[in-house]
Structure 1
C-alpha cells in the first residue's frame, strides 16, 4: 500500500516531463514554420531601392529648382530612408558597402536646402549626381548613368511651392 503513492508520484512526474517535451516540440514546430514564412516572404532587391532613389533624385531636382524647399527636404529624407533600407535589406550585396560614399554629397544638398540657396542647391545637386555615377563605376555598374532630369518624373504633381 505504501508503494501506491510513490508510483502515482512517479507517473505524475513522468507525465509532467513528457508534456514539457511535447510543448517544446510544438514551439519548435511553430518557430520552424515562422522561419519558413520569413524565408519565403518578399524582400525588395537593390534594384527596387535604387529605382526609388532615382525617382526621389528627380523630384528633388524639380523641387529645388522651383524653390520648394519643404518638398526638397522631404525628397532628401526619402533618399536617405531608401539608402538605409538598402543597407539593411541588401547587406549581402557587395555594392552596398559603397553606399556611404554618397553621404558628403547628401550633406551638401541638405545644407543648400536648409539655407534655401538655389545656386548652392544646383552645384550640390550636380555633386550628388556625379557621386551616384562614381558609386556606379566603383561597383561595376557604370552602364547605369544618372543625369540631371530634363522633365518631371510625374505629370500629376506640381513642384511649385504651395505658398
Structure 2
C-alpha cells in the first residue's frame, strides 16, 4: 500500500503536467484566433453608406418605373445594410442614431407593398429628408442626399420587365 501511494502521486503529477501543456496549447490557439478576428476585415461606415447611396438611387428609379419587385429588393438591401452597420460599427455615434431611418423606411416599404406611386414618392422624399436630418445630427451635414436625377448605373433597365412581354 505504501508503494502504491507514491506511484499514484507520480501518475497524478504527470497527468497534471499533461493537462497544463494542453491548457497552454489551447490558450495559444485562442490567442491566435482572437488576433485573427481582431485583424479580420470589416467594412467601414463609409463603405456601408456608399452601398446605401447606390440602393437609394436604384430604389428611386425602380419606384418611378413602378418596378415594385426591384423596389422591394432595393429597400431590403438598405435595411440589411443598416442591420450590418449596427452589427459591425456598433461603437460609432452614427450607428446609435441610424434607427431614426426606420419609420421612413417602414412607410416606404408600405408604399411598395401597395404599389402606390404617389405614396412611394412622398415616402421616398421623407426617407431622403430623414437621411439629411441624421447627417446633421451626427455632424456630417456636408453630406447632403437628394432625389436622384439619373441612375447610378447605365447597364440596368429599371422598367418593369413583366410589362414588356
Q: Which TM-score applies when normalising by structure 2? A: 0.95
Partners of 1:148 and 1:72 lie apart in 2 by: 15
What aligned pairs does 1:75-154 form with structure 2 within 5 A after superposition? 75-154=74-153
How many equivalent pairs are there?
Answer: 162
**1:63 match: secondary structure:** helix
Structure 1: gaps of 5 or more residues = none
Give the CA deviation at 1:150. 0.9
What CA deviation, in whole Å up to 9, does each residue of 1:27-69 have, x standing for no partner? 1110000000011111111111111000000000010000000
Two-structure CA RMSD over aligned residues (Å):
0.9
Partners of 1:24 and 1:14 lie apart in 2 by: 15
Partners of 1:60 and 1:11 lie apart in 2 by: 73
Partners of 2:22 and 2:161 lie apart in 1 by: 60
Give the CA deviation at 1:126. 0.6
Q: Which TM-score applies when normalising by structure 1? A: 0.96
Give the CA deviation at 1:95. 1.3
Q: Confirm or deny that 1:57 pairs with 2:56.
A: yes
